[in-house]
Every structure is written in C-alpha cells, then in structure tokens.
Amino acid sequence: MASLQASSCITLSSISSSSCCRRDLNINATIKMPKLRNRSLVLPKATSTTTSSALVEELELTSGYKNTKSTTGFVEKISAFPRYDYKVSDPMVTVARKFYAIMEAIEDRVEMHKNIGEQRNNWNSLLLASLNTITLAAATMAGIAGTVADTGGAPLSALKLSSTFLYLAATGMLIIMNKIQPSQLVEEQRNAARFFKQLHAEMRTMVSLGNPLTLDDVNQATDKVLALDRAFPLPLLGVMLEKFPATMEPAVWWPRQQQRRREAKGHCERKNDGNGWDVKLEEEMREIVGVLKRKDKADYLRLGEKALKLNKALAISGPLLTGLAAIGSALVGLPSHGSWAVVLGVVAGALSSIVNTVQHGWQVGMVLEMYRGNAGFFRLMEESIQSTLKEEVERRENGELFEMKVALQLGRSLTELKDLASVSSIKGAGMEEFGSKLF
C-alpha cells in the first residue's frame, strides 16, 4: 500500500513539472517573438516625367517587396495605352469634333421630323373625322327642324340653334385646316426625315473612308443642314411654307450659293482623258440634263399646277358650303322663306362633307407636295451635273462613279443611260421617253 502511494506521488510530480516546463517555454517564446514594425506604404507622386518602369521600381522598393518575376510585359502594356492631352488645341481634332457634332444634330432632326410627321398625320385623320361628324350632325338637325317647323316652340329653336352653331364651328375649323394643310405637312416631314438620313449617310461614308476632314467639309455640311431647315420648317407660325403659291415651283432643299470653281485654261483644246472623264461622257451628261429639263421636271410641274388649282378650289368650297348651310339652318321655320332654307341647310352640309373628304381624305395637299418634291429632285440633278461639268477634271468626282450615281438615281442601268443619251441626241425635243424610271 505504501509503495503504491509513493509511485502515484512520483507520477503526479512528473506530470506537473512537465506542464510547468511547457508553460514556461510558451511564455518565453511569446516574449522573445520579434515585434512587427508598423510601416505604412507610401506611394510616389506621379509626375509627367515619371516613366512606367521607374514607377514600378519605386513601388517595389517602397513596399519592401521585390518581385522576382520580370515586369517587362507589364510595363509594355502600360506604355501601349493611348495618352491624350486635351489641353493641346489640335486643329484636326477640332474639325473632327465639329463634324461629329453636326452628325449628332442631324440624328436629332431625323427623330424630330419623324415624330412631328406622325403627329400631323394624326391631326389630318382626327380633324377630318371631327369635321364630317359635326357637319352631318348639323345637317341632320336642320332636317329634323324642318319637319317640326309647323309645331314651333322650344324644340324648333333648340334644333335651329344647335345646327347653326355646329355649322359655324365647322366653318372655322375648315378655314384653319385648309390654311395649314395637314396632309401636305406630313409629306414635308417625311421628305425632311429622308433627306436628313441621306445627308447623315453621306457624312458617315466620308468618315469611314478615312480621308482627313477639313473645315470646308464642316462648312458644307452646315450649309446643307440649314438649307434643309429652311426647306422643311418644323414650326407652323411665321415660317410655314406657303400652301397656295401663285405659281408652282420645284422644292429646293440644298444650298443655292455659287460653288467655287476654277475654270481650266484652254478648255476647248483639252482632252478629257483623266479621272474617268472623256468628251463622250460629258456629252452624255449634257443630253441627260436636257431630257430631265424637257420631260421629267416639266411634266411634274404641269401636274403640280393641276393639283394646286384643285386644292385651291376645294379649300374655298368647303368653308363656303358650311357657311351657306349655317345661314339656311338659321332661317328654318320662318314663313317668309319657305322650304328652301331647309334644303340649303341639309344639302349644303352634305356637299361640304363630300368636299372635305375629297380634299383631306384623298390628301390632295400631299399629292401637291409630292409633285413639288419630284420636280425639285430633277432640278437638283440638273444643277449637280452642270456644276460638275463646269469644274476642272482634276477637281471633279470620278467620272465612272458619277455616271453610276446618275444611273441609279434615275432607276436605270449604265447601258440604258447611254441609250437614253444617244436617242436624245438624235431625236432632240421630239423625244417622248422620260429620263427617270422611278417617279
């Protein structure tokens, strides 16, 4: 029993001594552990003269860490980034910015004309439906008033007044509607959107070709935009185009200022064998101009004159008929006027609705604007061909490219275009064929 107690005491003392030794070792290790220095990372100030490689080395030295891998690739990637100094005024950059600003303005105008065109198309539909409804309602009331004229009293007076007021309202609305011609305004906005899209495509082609832009390109683009704004104005008050001009003239949507030309010396002795031009091609273009002037433009101006006269007659007839109907409805029931007042109030109102349907439902104003636009298209082709032929060969557009553009604008192939010019030179003014196959 005594030996057992002694052995247990020895075991407990050895366990306690070993635990004490471990605790002392842990404490000593903790005490002897080196303190970490709180060293903040100081970034160097980047200056304009600091290169990419010096910046990387300074970062490594300051942080106390040296990367063993090569930093050549990283430096090359940083150096490859484009660097722009916006404080430097570069004329080429300024011209490019102006050119792109014009392109952005053109995109905005396309959207504006498209939205306003849809709005004015709604005007035409809603105003026409409202006018016909008002006119027919007034005619119905005038007819009912004529049937109850013998009874007299309040029903007759109410029907007469209602019919008269409706006719007067229709007359005022018709005068305004005939003045602004909503269908013609819609066609103007369609043409404006199309021409602005065409101008934007031309400018985008210039940029995509990579040719350096000049200030002259910016000025020409600006002139074209302003000419389109004058030809197809957005507001109605003050700047609206005249809807009933005295004479029919082609629409003009391009700058009309005199182009700069440098006439070549000895023009008659020069042989046009450069830049895709020759004497035969020049004669061909002159014959095309003659055909367009004698046939296409003259024909659309003639049709435009007829549409203009018809539109004037309808614009006068509509308000006149509603005004007569208002007078007739006001005189219904009076014994001195008999039944002719009822006939005038009903028949004039019915005829007025027919006139309004023909004028605005068939969109006579839109047809008139279409004829003006087509005549203007052929006038533009004439002026562009003539101005090109007056320039020096070196300053002209390539002859083959110009001939292809003319053929495409007229809806013809190159062979058909040459045949048209040859037939025109033979027959002259007696030729019956038109130049364009598109309009």
* 3-state secondary structure at position 287: helix
- Predicted local confidence at residue 256, as pLDDT: 73
Residues sharing a CB contact under 8 Å with residue 319, sequence separation 6 or more, in sequence order: 171, 174, 175, 178
As a whole number of angstroms, the distance between CA 209 and CA 217 comes to: 14
H helices, E strands: number in the chain: 13, 0
- Closest Cα to residue 145, out of 170, 163, 121, 127? 163
CA atoms within 13 A on the CB side of 229: 10
What angle separates helix 364-390 from helix 297-330, to the nearest 10 degrees?
160
What is the pTM assigned to this prediction?
0.74
As a whole number of angstroms, the distance between CA 266 and CA 147 comes to: 89
* 3-state secondary structure at position 163: helix
- Predicted local confidence at residue 428, as pLDDT: 67
Rg (CA), the chain: 43
- Predicted local confidence at residue 147, as pLDDT: 82
pLDDT in tens, the chain (439 residues): 444 344 444 444 444 444 444 444 443 444 444 444 444 444 444 444 444 444 445 444 444 444 444 444 444 443 444 444 444 456 888 999 999 999 999 999 999 999 999 999 999 999 999 999 999 999 999 999 888 766 666 678 889 999 999 999 999 999 999 999 999 999 999 999 999 999 999 999 999 988 889 999 999 999 999 999 999 999 988 889 999 999 999 999 999 754 443 333 334 344 445 688 999 999 999 999 999 999 999 999 999 999 999 999 999 999 999 999 999 999 987 877 768 889 999 999 999 999 999 999 999 999 999 999 999 999 999 999 999 999 888 889 999 999 999 999 999 999 999 999 988 888 766 677 899 988 7
- Predicted local confidence at residue 338, as pLDDT: 63
CA distances from 145 to 150, 164, 204, 346, 359 (A): 10, 11, 67, 10, 30
Q: Of how many residues is the chain composed?
A: 439
Q: What tokens does 201 get?
A: 């495509």
Q: Which DSSP state fits 267?
A: T
* 3-state secondary structure at position 335: coil
Q: What tokens does 108 get?
A: 């905005």
Residues sharing a CB contact under 8 Å with residue 419, sequence separation 6 or more, in sequence order: none
As a whole number of angstroms, the distance between CA 439 and CA 411 comes to: 9
Dihedral in degrees, nearest 10, Cα atoms 418, 422, 425, 430: -100
Q: Residue type at 426?
A: I
- Closest Cα to residue 319, out of 346, 347, 350, 356? 356
